[in-house]
Amino acid sequence: MKDPIDAFRQFLAAKNQKLTPQRQVVLRIFMDRHDHMTPEELHTLGRELDPGLGLATVYRTLKLLEEAGLARELRLGDGVARYEYDFGRAHHDHIICTGCNRNIEVLDPRIETLQEALARRHGFELTGHKMILYGLCEDCRKGGD
């Protein structure tokens, strides 16, 4: 598998752009954290490494990372865009608690098979999908005891 930094460098070169130190900071944090981060959270972490890192640079870099297949934007139902590192990761879905915003990544091959069969039945060939389930986690149902 290709190194993510090399993959991003090649993607940028094809667009006549460079892997700047600021873009490297954003990618490094993303690769190390593996969280579902907002651009603002990434910006805060990035400024610890590069105090001159601007929020606009973070937004632009996230869009480039998404185009390059290294990041994926997530809309988890709370109106906030989050991004997750997506390079070389297996597909997964999400279960989100509407009480505490706990986010669990899940994969069930049976559900994947059913989704593919459903698409075929309607004449579609799947090229991708997102499944997000919402509910209350056990702690929130118990009242947070």
Residue-level pLDDT at 116: 87
Residue-level pLDDT at 114: 87
Residue-level pLDDT at 60: 94
pTM over cut 0.75: no
Question: 69: which residues sit within 8 A by CB, 6+ positions away?
Answer: 7, 86, 87
Rounded Cα gap, residues 105 and 92, in angstroms: 6
Tokens linked to 32? 């190390």
Q: What is the pLDDT along the chain (145 residues), one digit of tens a residue?
A: 478 788 889 999 999 999 999 999 998 888 887 678 889 999 999 999 999 999 999 999 999 998 988 888 877 667 778 888 776 666 778 788 888 878 787 878 888 888 889 999 999 988 777 788 888 999 998 876 5
